[in-house]
Amino acid sequence: MEFLKKHPFNHRFLVRTVLNPALYRALVNTPLRGSPVAINTTCPRISIFPSHNIAIRGFTQTRRMMEDPKVVLQDKQEVAEMIRALEAGRTQNKGDKKAFKCRKSTFMVGKAGNTAADSWKFMDWDYKRNDLPTYARGLFTAKRKDGAPEIVTRGYDKFFNVNEVNETQWRNIENNTRGPYELSVKENGCIIFISGLEDGSLLVCSKHSTGARSDTARSHAQVGEEWIEKHVASVGKSTADLARQLREMNVTAVGELCDDSFEEHVLAYDPASSGIYLHGINFNVPEFATLSSSDVHQFADTWGFKKANFVVYDDLETVQKFLEKCAETGSWDGRDTEGFVIRCKMSEGGKGPLRDWFFKYKFEEPYLMYRQWRECTKAILSGKPPRFKKHKKITEEYLAYARSQFVLNPGLKQRYQQNHGIISMRDGFLQERGLNGAQIIQMEAEEVKRDVVLVPIASIGCGKTTVALGLTKLFGWGHVQNDNIPKGKNKPKKFASDILNTMMEKSAVIADRNNHQKRERDQLMNDVSVGAPNARFVALQYVHEPKDIMLPEIREVTRRRVLDRGDNHQTIRAGTKDAGEVIGIMEGFLKRFEAIDTEREPDMSFDEVIDLDIMATSRENLEKVVRALHSAYPQLVTAVPSAKELDDAIDFATSEYNVDVDHSASYKQPKNPKQNKNSNSPGPSAITIEAKAKNIEYFGISLPASEVLNLLHSLFSPATPPEKARLYHQLVNFRRIQPAFHVTLIHRASKKDNPDVWDSLVQRYTEKMTTIPPTEHWGTPFLGHARIRLERLVWDSRLMTFVARILPSEDAEDGQPEPDWVCVNPLPHVTVGTASPDIKPKESNDLLQRWLRQGSAPGSGIWEAEIPGVKVVYGNVGVTMSRGKY
């Protein structure tokens, strides 16, 4: 009874089981601050719970309140209710998008292999819902001999990264959690669950399976079993002993299997450091309940497991500083790590009973770069072009190193494809460069001083324009508002064009549009990348997911903001329009909103993603953006402004900003073409045709990329000698083939030597521009058709180009003759690609002059391939503007 005297409670408690009548009488007579004790004498174990039942996530569960729980038993009614709810989710109509879905897989386990263990699996996004019967990620259930259902394996509740969901926003963590905060190192392997069955056998599972698998010689669970035998034997115990202990405690031991001889991940584990790192002990009950890290360490010592290091802090501010410091190097205590799991107590809204709760702080880099290297290497081993948009330069250098290693060690290819040699390949490259991953990331960040595009992902009323105006006030960056552009079919391209124009003068530009759908983000990044291939895209995502939880509060907040601002908006005049009409427009955006998914196109092209809270103030979101940009690009944001400067920036954005453009009518009525025809007043962003003509970079004939690529690939068969195909494979593998193909007629650099050609083409351009409405003057006009014959492919070790012939023109569609297009280059050509960014396409002229003089004889370093037959392609004549110009 000493335990009860040391741990008094303010609640009425239920003793669900009692050991013997003497203990029963002692418990009844033990004072608990005046609260009587309810007794249940059905089982030879003791568990103490609040006597009040609490409805939790769709079923009733008794909540544990012990300060230092050692045994928490299952309640068969609670487990049965959980399984019924899971079965309902498994059989839900697939068309019912509002209901959660789960999948059940059954495995035969136990000594005789006659115990059916059911694995239950949710989709990852379902864990963001608030109506699941349990949030365990890794859950196996079975039936006891008496037919009662039980949980045999129980993983952690799914936990999220900082800022990934609303609960893990720092301000909510601060308001809703209590210390101590236990920070354990996030080991880099695969998760293993260990528990005991009723028949005394040990059950070892990976996340959703157990035993042998048909798709691999050794499964994770099997390798886990082998390691468990080694661990327990090292302390003179057996797996049967471990199974019995876990069964008596009603727990699942959770560990990380780290064994590079079996499977490599990102971080290296030598033989001495390989094994199972125990990092959790969870009670097998529906509601998450787990032991402290110190208890886990004590258990690991007793049973011979390795231990995941942890550190404890009492306050959240210290936790944040510690994590930010470790993130600078991606390491702690001299060892690389992917991040930390933080364990603490949480209560809903900071009130009510506390429960166990985890969140994580994951170091994105350099580990995303390492994974990119691994996936790109596997792609080239499979004969596929590697796809990557981040860390371009260093990744290309790494792939060149990897290719050289495969040539030197032919057997390495097969090993790499089997997940061996990955880390040694990476470490060899880093050693050759004399850098570590964190240093590379830091160097890349320090190189970024301009060409940054901030892309809000939002719906109406989130505050994106207020934050954008605050950023322009603080840093003088460019701000392009989509709402300032009149509605029209070419509006998306005009938006991208205005961004490119602004990038010529500003180091960063805010692309102020909702960008709430993937197609919008795809269009924006593609169009901007054409004119600014080195642009960095940073997403400012106003978090909307999970919608079923967040939309009610989002609606309340954003409607209030929009209706309060009245007519101070270019397209949504809330002061004039009917409120119902405004709300209808807002609902459309909410319905169409697509959250960022950095695992898939187009969102994987974002260099950084900054999640923002719609319910937070614009001042809070502004500071978050500034701090994140300072961390990611220290040369762009060299210092975080003071609190007063941030306050002043928001005051400017909210008090001094007034809309002077009204495009609301264009969103209600179809455009009248007569109005454009008779209008002589260009909009505020219009420019003269003469001014545009002064910024033409070159005139050229654009060719269909598919025809050029098909012809190119047909010239290199598997039988082509390796030395002859070397540049071709380099261009393919390094993605150095041009995204578009053209024949240059004349470049602005040649206009002084060929004024007649340049002036005639400018005149044709000017005449064409006068025939299009002023509202479309931002585009580049079509000047005519052309026929091109591709005659020969010529290349050396640096670049590859087609020799082209411009054929006499045919009549145009209107019966008028097309002009004969003149090319001022000695040989018209189509550059296919260059071996590196340092080699400019214009060097094709030099290569072809060398080829004309000396041919492709052995020793010349020049190769050529004749085009079989007569290959004629049809192209369009047009202009290309200087980078970022109109």
Could you tell me if 621 and 654 are in contact, meaning their C-beta atoms sit under 8 angstroms apart? Answer: no
Is 596 part of any domain?
Answer: yes
Catalytic residue numbers read 186
> In a 3-state reduction of DSSP, which class is residue 275?
strand
CATH number at 811 reads 3.90.1740
CA angle 114, 120, 126 (to 5 degrees): 180
Do 621 and 480 reside in the same domain of the chain? yes
Q: Is the pLDDT at 683 greater than 80, yes or no?
A: no
In this prediction, residue 883 has a pLDDT band, given cuts at 50, 70 and 90, of low
Does one domain contain both 641 and 701? no
Neighbours of 729 (CB within 10 A): 14
Given the structure tokens 């590196």, which residue do they identify? 836
Model pTM?
0.57
Is 81 a member of any domain? no
Question: What SS3 state is found at 432?
Answer: helix
The answer to whether 14 and 38 have CB atoms below 8 angstroms apart is: yes
Amino acid 813 reads: E
**Under 8 Å between Cβ of 700 and 750:** no
In the chain, pLDDT over 90 holds for what percent of residues? 48
Q: Is the pLDDT of residue 682 over 50?
A: no
Residue 540's φ and ψ, nearest 5 degrees, are -110, 90
pLDDT at 844 over 70: yes
pLDDT digits (tens, 9 = 90+) for 292-350: 999 999 999 999 999 988 999 999 999 999 998 888 778 888 777 889 999 999 987 77
Query: 128 lies in a domain?
Result: no
What is the per-residue pLDDT for 659? 52
Same-domain pairing of 473 and 347: no
Q: Is residue 260 part of a domain?
A: no
Integer CA distances (angstroms), 678 to 663, 668, 672, 776, in order: 19, 21, 10, 15
Q: What length is written for the chain? A: 886
Residue that is last in its domain, among 445, 462, 492: 445
Whether residues 698 and 797 share a domain: the answer is: yes
The whole-chain average pLDDT of the chain stands at 82
Task: Please name the amino acid found at residue 318.
Answer: T
Nearest CA to 469 out of 479, 461, 458, 460 is that of 479
Q: Which amino acid, residue 68?
A: D
Choose one of 411, 426, 445: the last residue of a domain: 445
* The pLDDT of residue 171: 86
Stretch among 92-101, 213-222, 274-283, 406-415 having the lowest mean pLDDT: 92-101
Domain end: 602, 636, 671, which one? 671
> In this structure, what token pair is assigned to residue 457?
């992902």
Number of structural domains (the chain) is 4
Contacts of 843 (CB under 8 A, 6+ apart): 798, 799, 834
Q: Does 398 reside within a domain?
A: yes
Winning range, highest mean pLDDT, from 61-75, 290-304, 807-821: 290-304
Question: Quick one: pLDDT at residue 263?
Answer: 82
Which amino acid is it at 863? Answer: W
Residues 643 and 560 in one domain: yes
Strand 190-196 to 202-205 pairing? antiparallel
**Per-residue pLDDT for 684 more than 90?**
no
Specify if 47 maps to a domain: no
Assess contact for 606 and 528: CB atoms under 8 A. no
Whether 547 and 587 share a structural domain = yes
Q: Which domain, by its residues, includes 780?
A: 689-881
- Provide the CB-side half-sphere exposure for 876 (13 A, CA): 10
Q: What is the torsional sign of CA 203, 138, 95, 599?
A: negative
Tell me: pLDDT of 3 over 50.
Answer: no
Tokens standing for residue 812: 């145009």
Q: For 694-754, where are the alpha helices, taking DSSP H only?
A: 705-714, 722-733
pLDDT at 773: 60
Task: Quickly list H helices, 566-660.
Answer: 579-592, 618-632, 643-655
704 and 642 belong to one structural domain:
no
If asked whether residues 548 and 579 sit together in one domain, one would say: yes
Query: Same domain for 574 and 535?
Result: yes
549 and 412 housed in the same domain:
no
Residue 722 has pLDDT above 90, yes or no: no
Q: Tens of pLDDT along 138-172? A: 999 999 999 999 999 999 999 999 988 888 988 88
Residue 831, pLDDT above cutoff 70: yes
The confidence score (pLDDT) of residue 98 equals 65
Residue 33, classed as helix, strand or coil, is: coil
Return phi, psi of residue 290, to 5°: -145, 160
In a domain, 440, yes or no: yes
**Nearest to residue 39, comparing CAs of 55, 54, 19, 59?**
19
Residue 886 has pLDDT above 90, yes or no: no
Task: Give the pLDDT score at 667.
Answer: 44
Query: Is the model's pLDDT at 566 over the cut of 60?
Result: no
Q: Return the pLDDT at 818.
A: 63
Query: Do 728 and 741 belong together in one domain?
Result: yes
Q: Tell me, what CATH number does 489's domain have?
A: 3.40.50.300
Mean pLDDT throughout 432-452? 86
Q: Could you tell me the end-to-end alpha-carbon distance of the chain, in angstroms, rounded to an integer? A: 83
Average pLDDT over residues 663-678: 42
Higher pLDDT, 97 or 800: 800
- Antiparallel, parallel or unpaired: β 784-795 and 799-806: antiparallel
At 429 the pLDDT is 94
Residue 232 lies in a domain: no
pLDDT tier at 578, thresholds 50, 70, 90: low
Q: Residue 762 burial (CB < 10 Å; 0-12/13-18/19+)?
A: middle
Asked whether residue 542 falls in the same domain as residue 430, the answer is no
> pLDDT for 20-40, tens place per residue?
333 333 333 333 333 333 333
